[in-house]
């Protein structure tokens, strides 16, 4: 394709994306002259270019939009929903035609007569009819935004008479006449720009605006100076301001410097680079990293200090270069989010909802390939929130909420991954409805549904074929989508999770890796070959020494399992799955288990040897081998040999770890729930007066021993400093007594004797709280089947553990009665800390 046309397409497509955003933004601040000017300029640029390139149909459409915009800009019309929709439709039409040009190098047959008519009609829709030439409205402030000064600006100035023609009452007439004009006018315009001669000071508007922004100048002061300038004052704005005594010279100088540096940044310091060049660069860096790995291996075998020093330096440089090149491929997430204001606006219109879109962390950067991969899932999640999450204004008001719903997008880095949250303050997920629907659709059985926790119920929405939408809308609700979201996110090594509070809203959190090109991986050996396991799938490593391995690996009807902290972990032998010859086990009989996670399910992979973690460069497998699902790709190791990267998901499927899960997901949950009911781990401790007490171990965060000297007082609470936070302490002895006595709690009995305090640390309403007990006795596993009603508050029930009657303590009740219900602000901050 013609290079000029190509450039035009790239530029115009970018401009159109910006138009979408700006139009939506304009709707919320219709008086923003800057926005209007920018929109106008963009459309004008497109129009001008297509006139030049001979795309007359496209030009006609753009022209119709431009005419409408000029009336808006001149204040003859005020923006309303109808006009915005018209303009957005125009943007869509232009986009469609650009697509046509891309495909056929021709702007298509359709010249959108209806759209143009509509736009023409909108011109006369409200406000006063066109009258005076708009020159009076034409203040430099209109051009105060960041666009570089050039012939473009002059162009617009000269274009004004044409625009007037367009908005004059005859404008609704045959557009062909108008269409012919711009070409004729636009070209001379360039000529005039030089001949016009009047030195423009494009930065004056910007300077003024920035001065106001910096607080050095009042808006009135600026208006005064601008007026003077328009009145024929030839001096630059800065001088005028100085002359009027409105500003300090130093301030003007500083501001000018900022402007200059901004110009530099936006102008000469960025260049356009083709994506293919970046990809190639990335490949080369990948090669370099591999060569570096090889070199390091060689250098570790030599004694030559000079060589070692050089290879170390090369190592550092390569690492740095890798980082920098990765940066070039990074794009802020806002490149996807940019589309959402428009999506949200359109959907609010069509669903009759009021939604405010909030974004946080727009600058969070992700690799280009990942940006591509999450674009659709995110769009789907946004649409879903709009359609199912946020209620209609009436429903919202009925439940005491503001009529306008809030859709919040949040992105942030955490632990080498990027988290993206899509939250709405809508009705939340209805766990009963989900249960009911899931049973109706045969996804789970009724008993299964009853045994499931809400959190697991929410995750049912990611199953294929699930939808609770009452009616199928064109937005969503067809039951495809959430599962696609999940699959797509998992394809790039990410995770999706959903949280919901009925009546308060839903949050979907997507966790994705930063990049796919170079990843950290664990290298293992199996039957003499090395395999790489992506670190994201890795949970932990377990090494069983000879004796332990004999006892540790048990069998469920022949299927090997391992008890990992009391839970059965299914074991998969890598060599058997890959049909590799079984290696003679070393005489030491050590078993290495790599605990992996796939699709929320854990399993242990038994390998011959665990080598090391390494940064590997992922090289996709060729098409011929794509069908082998157990491998995600290949890489080249330090010694130059090829190693395969295991696809943990594929491996799990092959080993039936997941298939089993898919069928028996809920059953498994139920079994686990049942198992925990039958046998649960309890912490046994001595309570006041030698009574035996217990709490389920999984309700505790950890056990601590705090020296008595650490106990301090904060108001009515006893506290201790714990991991940089203040840990409120509750003495169980007092808490179990009657409430009025609790308030007068004195120093801890234990602390008087100077012995350390035994503290059960638990998370309560998002923060850590310590419960002081007399003495920790034991951790036991017991069914605790017998239940005897509690005799005092703070006790759930009495039961028999290890053949002794034991009181089961209700920790939340105790903490609540101790006045530890957290203040909202406190809970938020400590929850955030706990999460980080």
Partner 1 sequence: MAHTSQFCTFYLDGLLFGVELQGVQEVIRNLEMTPVPLAPGVVRGLINLRGQIVTAVDLRKRLELQPLPADAHPVNVVVRSEDGAVSLLVDEIGDVAEVEQSSFERAPETLTGPVRAMILGVYKMDGRLLHVLDKEKACYVGEPEAAAAAAAR
What part of residues 765-784 is at the interface with partner 1 (CB under 8 A)? none
Contacting range for partner 1; rule: CB under 8 A; set: 5-13, 284-292, 362-370, 785-793: 284-292
The one among 429, 643, 729, 760 contacting partner 1 by CB under 8 A: 643
**Ramachandran region, residue 33 (left: φ > 0; alpha: ψ -120 to 50; beta: rest):** alpha
Task: Give the C-alpha separation, 452 to 438, whole Å.
Answer: 12
The one among 184, 316, 559, 625 contacting partner 1 by CB under 8 A: 625
How close are the terminal C-alpha atoms of the chain, in Å?
Answer: 51
**Ramachandran region, residue 743 (left: φ > 0; alpha: ψ -120 to 50; beta: rest):** alpha
Is residue 641 close enough to count as binding partner 1 by CB under 8 A?
Answer: yes
- Tokens 């290495």, located at residue: 592
Measured CA distances, 11 to 46, 64, 444 (Å):
9, 20, 52
Is residue 619 close enough to count as binding partner 1 by CB under 8 A?
Answer: yes
- Tokens 């098409």, located at residue: 623
Contacting range for partner 1; rule: CB under 8 A; set: 107-115, 286-294, 354-362, 759-767: 286-294
Shortest distance in whole angstroms from residue 624 CB to partner 1: 5
Give the alpha-carbon dihedral of 555, 560, 566, 567, to 10 degrees. Answer: -120
DSSP track, 388-428: IISPPHHHHHHTTS-SSEEEEEEEEEETTEEEEEEEE-SS-
Closest C-alpha among 68, 75, 9 to residue 44: 68
Longest dimension (CA), the chain: 103
Task: Give the C-alpha separation, 314 to 289, whole Å.
Answer: 10
The one among 198, 272, 471, 623 contacting partner 1 by CB under 8 A: 623
| Residues ≥6 apart with Cβ < 8 Å to 369 | 329, 492, 515, 516, 517
Residue among 184 and 642 whose Cβ is closer to partner 1:
642
Is residue 322 close enough to count as binding partner 1 by CB under 8 A?
Answer: no
Residue among 290 and 382 whose Cβ is closer to partner 1:
290
Is residue 630 close enough to count as binding partner 1 by CB under 8 A?
Answer: yes
Closest C-alpha among 630, 640, 414, 620 to residue 533: 630
Shortest distance in whole angstroms from residue 107 CB to partner 1: 35
Task: Give the C-alpha separation, 614 to 294, whole Å.
Answer: 12
Number of chain positions touching partner 1 (CB under 8 A): 26
Residue among 290 and 732 whose Cβ is closer to partner 1:
290
Contacting range for partner 1; rule: CB under 8 A; set: 9-17, 305-313, 624-632, 691-699: 624-632
Is residue 340 close enough to count as binding partner 1 by CB under 8 A?
Answer: no
Helix (H) or strand (E) holding 223: helix 219-230
Shortest distance in whole angstroms from residue 576 CB to partner 1: 11
Residue among 564 and 580 whose Cβ is closer to partner 1:
580
Task: Give the C-alpha separation, 86 to 385, whole Å.
Answer: 26
Shortest distance in whole angstroms from residue 530 CB to partner 1: 8
Shortest distance in whole angstroms from residue 257 CB to partner 1: 48
Shortest distance in whole angstroms from residue 486 CB to partner 1: 24
Is residue 216 close enough to count as binding partner 1 by CB under 8 A?
Answer: no
Shortest distance in whole angstroms from residue 579 CB to partner 1: 6
| Phi, psi dihedrals of residue 720, rounded to the nearest 5° | -140, 150
Residue among 378 and 617 whose Cβ is closer to partner 1:
617
Task: Give the C-alpha separation, 698 to 679, whole Å.
Answer: 12
Is residue 276 close enough to count as binding partner 1 by CB under 8 A?
Answer: no
The one among 104, 268, 303, 627 contacting partner 1 by CB under 8 A: 627
Q: What is the DSSP letter of 578?
A: T
Is residue 419 close enough to count as binding partner 1 by CB under 8 A?
Answer: no
What part of residues 644-683 is at the interface with partner 1 (CB under 8 A)? 644, 654
Shortest distance in whole angstroms from residue 623 CB to partner 1: 5
Read off the tokens for 220.
Answer: 């009135």
Residue among 219 and 642 whose Cβ is closer to partner 1:
642
Residue among 622 and 741 whose Cβ is closer to partner 1:
622
Long-range contacts of 586-592 (CB under 8 A, 24+ apart): 588/545, 588/546, 589/545, 589/546, 589/549, 589/550, 590/543, 590/544, 590/545, 590/546, 590/549, 591/543, 591/544, 591/549, 591/552, 591/553, 592/524, 592/541, 592/542, 592/543, 592/544
The one among 301, 624, 746, 791 contacting partner 1 by CB under 8 A: 624
Beta pairing, strands 804-809 & 692-696 = parallel
Task: Give the C-alpha separation, 25 to 338, whole Å.
Answer: 11
The one among 8, 631, 685, 718 contacting partner 1 by CB under 8 A: 631
Is residue 250 close enough to count as binding partner 1 by CB under 8 A?
Answer: no
Is residue 287 close enough to count as binding partner 1 by CB under 8 A?
Answer: yes
| Phi, psi dihedrals of residue 269, rounded to the nearest 5° | -85, 0
What part of residues 476-535 is at the interface with partner 1 (CB under 8 A)? 529
Contacting range for partner 1; rule: CB under 8 A; set: 84-92, 282-290, 694-702, 735-743: 282-290
Shortest distance in whole angstroms from residue 274 CB to partner 1: 21
Beta pairing, strands 642-646 & 529-534 = parallel
Is residue 557 close enough to count as binding partner 1 by CB under 8 A?
Answer: no
Contacting range for partner 1; rule: CB under 8 A; set: 219-227, 357-365, 615-623, 702-710: 615-623
Shortest distance in whole angstroms from residue 342 CB to partner 1: 40
DSSP track, 420-446: EEEEE-SS---HHHHHHHHHHTTSS-H
Is residue 290 close enough to count as binding partner 1 by CB under 8 A?
Answer: yes
Q: Please, are residues 807 and 795 in contact by the beta-carbon 8 Å criterion?
A: yes
Contacting range for partner 1; rule: CB under 8 A; set: 101-109, 301-309, 509-517, 619-627: 619-627
Is residue 727 close enough to count as binding partner 1 by CB under 8 A?
Answer: no
The one among 276, 579, 746, 753 contacting partner 1 by CB under 8 A: 579
Task: Give the C-alpha separation, 18 to 39, whole Å.
Answer: 8
Neighbours of 832 (CB within 10 A): 10
Shortest distance in whole angstroms from residue 578 CB to partner 1: 4
Contacting range for partner 1; rule: CB under 8 A; set: 259-267, 509-517, 578-586, 680-688: 578-586
Is residue 578 close enough to count as binding partner 1 by CB under 8 A?
Answer: yes
The one among 628, 675, 826, 832 contacting partner 1 by CB under 8 A: 628
Is residue 580 close enough to count as binding partner 1 by CB under 8 A?
Answer: yes
Shortest distance in whole angstroms from residue 628 CB to partner 1: 5
Contacting range for partner 1; rule: CB under 8 A; set: 368-376, 553-561, 616-624, 804-812: 616-624
Q: Please, are residues 666 and 690 in contact by the beta-carbon 8 Å criterion?
A: no
The one among 262, 563, 629, 702 contacting partner 1 by CB under 8 A: 629
Contacting range for partner 1; rule: CB under 8 A; set: 51-59, 178-186, 401-409, 633-641: 633-641
Which residues contact partner 1 by CB under 8 A?
286-287, 290-291, 529, 578-580, 619, 622-625, 627-631, 634, 636, 640-644, 654
């Amino acid at each position: 394709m013609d290079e000029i046309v190509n450039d035009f397409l790239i530029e115009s497509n970018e401009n159109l994306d910006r138009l979408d955003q700006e139009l939506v933004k304009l709707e919320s601040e219709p008086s923003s002259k800057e926005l209007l000017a920018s929109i106008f300029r963009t459309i004008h640029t497109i129009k001008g270019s297509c006139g030049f390139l001979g795309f007359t149909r496209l030009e006609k459409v753009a022209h119709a939009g431009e005419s409408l915009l000029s009336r808006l800009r001149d204040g003859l019309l005020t923006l309303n929903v109808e006009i915005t929709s018209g303009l957005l439709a125009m943007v869509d039409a232009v986009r469609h035609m650009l697509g046509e040009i891309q495909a056929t190098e021709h702007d298509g047959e359709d010249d959108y007569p209806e759209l143009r008519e509509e736009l023409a009609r909108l011109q006369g829709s409200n406000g006063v009819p066109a009258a005076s030439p708009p020159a009076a409205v034409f203040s430099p402030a209109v051009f105060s935004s960041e666009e570089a000064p050039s012939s473009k600006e002059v162009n617009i100035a000269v274009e004004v008479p044409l625009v007037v023609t367009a908005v004059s009452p005859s404008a609704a007439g045959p557009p062909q006449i108008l269409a012919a004009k711009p070409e004729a006018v636009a070209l001379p315009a360039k000529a005039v720009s030089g001949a016009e001669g009047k030195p423009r000071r494009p930065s004056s508007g910007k300077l003024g605006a920035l001065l106001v922004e910096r607080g050095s100048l009042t808006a009135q002061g600026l208006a005064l100076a601008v007026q003077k300038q328009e009145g024929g004052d030839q001096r630059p704005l800065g001088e005028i301001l100085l002359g009027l005594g409105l500003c300090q010279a130093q301030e003007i100088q500083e501001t000018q410097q900022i402007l200059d540096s901004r110009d530099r940044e936006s102008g000469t310091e960025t260049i356009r680079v083709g994506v293919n060049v970046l990809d190639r660069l990335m490949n080369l860096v990948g090669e370099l990293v591999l060569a570096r790995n090889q070199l390091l291996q060689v250098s570790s075998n030599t004694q030559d200090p000079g060589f070692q020093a050089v290879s170390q330096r090369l190592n550092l440089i390569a690492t740095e270069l890798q980082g920098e090149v990765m940066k070039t491929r990074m794009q802020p997430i806002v490149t996807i989010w940019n589309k959402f204001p428009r999506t949200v606006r359109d959907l609010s219109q069509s669903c009759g909802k009021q939604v405010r879109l909030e974004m946080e962390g727009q600058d969070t950067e992700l690799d280009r390939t990942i940006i591509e991969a999450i674009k659709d899932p995110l769009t789907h999640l946004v649409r879903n929130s709009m359609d199912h999450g946020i209620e209609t204004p009436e429903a919202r008001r009925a439940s005491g909420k503001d009529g306008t719903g809030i859709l919040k997008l949040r992105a942030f880095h955490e632990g080498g991954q990027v988290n993206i949250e899509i939250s709405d303050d809508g009705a939340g997920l209805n766990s009963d409805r989900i249960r009911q629907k899931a049973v109706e659709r045969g996804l789970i059985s009724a008993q299964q549904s009853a045994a499931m926790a809400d959190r697991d119920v929410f995750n049912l929405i990611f199953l294929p074929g699930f939808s609770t939408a009452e009616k199928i809308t064109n937005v969503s609700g067809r039951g495809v989508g959430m599962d696609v979201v999940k699959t797509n996110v998992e394809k790039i090594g990410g995770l999706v999770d959903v949280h919901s509070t009925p009546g308060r809203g839903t949050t979907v959190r997507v966790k994705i890796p930063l990049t796919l090109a170079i990843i950290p991986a664990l290298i293992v050996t199996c039957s003499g070959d090395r395999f790489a396991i992506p670190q994201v799938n890795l949970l932990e490593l377990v090494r069983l020494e000879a004796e332990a391995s004999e006892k540790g690996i048990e069998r469920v009807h022949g299927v090997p399992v391992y008890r990992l902290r009391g839970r059965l972990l299914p074991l998969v032998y890598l060599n058997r799955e890959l049909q590799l010859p079984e290696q003679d086990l070393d005489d030491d009989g050590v078993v290495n288990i790599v605990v992996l996670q796939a699709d929320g399910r854990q399993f242990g992979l038994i390998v011959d040897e665990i080598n090391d973690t390494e940064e590997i460069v992922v090289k996709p497998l060729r098409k011929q081998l794509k069908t082998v699902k157990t491998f995600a790709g290949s890489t080249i190791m330090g010694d130059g040999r090829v190693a395969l990267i295991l696809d943990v998901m594929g491996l799990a499927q092959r080993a039936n770890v997941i298939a089993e899960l898919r069928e028996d997901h809920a059953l498994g949950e139920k079994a686990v729930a049942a198992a925990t009911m039958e046998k649960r781990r309890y912490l046994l401790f001595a309570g006041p007066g030698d009574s035996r007490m217990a709490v389920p171990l999984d309700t505790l965060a950890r056990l601590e021993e705090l020296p008595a000297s650490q106990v301090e007082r904060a108001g009515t609470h006893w506290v201790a400093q714990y991991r940089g936070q203040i840990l409120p302490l509750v003495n169980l002895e007092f808490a179990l007594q009657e409430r009025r006595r609790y308030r007068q709690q004195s120093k801890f009995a234990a602390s008087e004797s100077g012995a350390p305090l035994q503290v059960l640390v638990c998370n309560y309403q998002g923060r850590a709280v310590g419960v002081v007990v007399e003495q920790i006795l034991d951790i036991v596993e017991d069914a605790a089947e017998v239940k005897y009603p509690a005799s005092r508050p703070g006790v759930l029930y009495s039961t028999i553990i290890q053949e002794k009657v034991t009181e089961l303590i209700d920790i939340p009740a105790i903490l609540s009665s101790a006045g530890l219900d957290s203040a909202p602000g406190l809970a938020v901050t400590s929850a955030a800390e706990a999460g980080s």
